[in-house]
Amino acid sequence: MPDNDKDLVEVIEGEADALGLPKDPTVSLFGQPLKMLPGSPDAADIAIFVFITASYSMKPVIDTPMHIRDYFEGALHLQRCKPELSIKELSDGPYYAQFREPATNLFYTFTPDPAVLVVITGKSPGSRSGKASDYAFAVDIYTNATNIPRGIARHLNSLYMNGIVSSTNWDLVQSSFQVTQEECIETWRRLIGSEDPDEPHPAGQSTLPRFCMKCGKRLEDDRLKFCPYCGTKRAGSA
């Protein structure tokens, strides 16, 4: 049964400790989101088992967590689950879950097999900002699997027409997260420039995003060039 005295962070940290995940991020990636998406229950699930049952904010959210979901489903072959009692329910499947702290751009994406926790933080200097160009993100990856950070980095980078390094305002990233441009860029280049034979690349899988970049709806057919919900052309389609 859930522990009423624990908040979402404590629950996830407890599960991560039980799986032997590192205390500090294995890799931290920084950049800027491509789009802002409408805040909604689907864009950001709230953990029922910590008794935050329907606290959603309609304030726009960064699209980076959506792309992490895409990687978990496409490359790791995991199915999204919404636990009702405990994160331990994820061990029944190949499952993963994604949660959001209410009314924030702080997201947790978690799976026990392979053991991975991805913490995504979006920051903007303007509290009322609704533009992706005003946001910076940090993607903190906790895992003992060496191929996972590389896979996530290469997946995210592939979504940017000219690559994420050249598409990022590094002054904004530096001021938001107190990191240096040189270290951030070196991490991206080290990961996206390396080949790993163990990295999952499902045969015949489309490289197009599985979610509409405008409305955030999941697209079940990878062959579609336009979103059937809002009509927006899919990023990367010919």
3-state secondary structure string, 178-220?
CCCHHHHHHHHHHHHCCCCCCCCCCCCCCCCCCECCCCCCECC
Higher-confidence residue: 184 or 202?
184
Position 168 scores a pLDDT of: 96
Q: Residue 144: is its pLDDT beyond 60?
A: yes
Extents of the domains making up the chain: 8-192, 213-238
| Whole-angstrom distance, CA of residue 24 vs CA of residue 232 | 39
Q: Residue 59: is its pLDDT beyond 80?
A: no
The share of the chain scoring above pLDDT 70, in percent, equals 71
Question: What is the four-CA torsion angle of 24, 26, 28, 34, rounded to 10 degrees?
Answer: -130
The share of the chain scoring above pLDDT 90, in percent, equals 50
| Whole-angstrom distance, CA of residue 191 vs CA of residue 197 | 13
Out of 35-39, 47-51, 65-69, 107-111, least confident range:
47-51
Q: Residue 30: is its pLDDT beyond 50?
A: yes
- pTM (predicted TM-score): 0.77
Instruction: Specify the 3-state DSSP secondary structure of 65.
Output: helix
pLDDT-derived band at 180, boundaries 50, 70, 90: very high
Residue 100 · residue 45 · CB < 8 Å: yes
Position 62 scores a pLDDT of: 93
Q: Residue 2: is its pLDDT beyond 70?
A: no
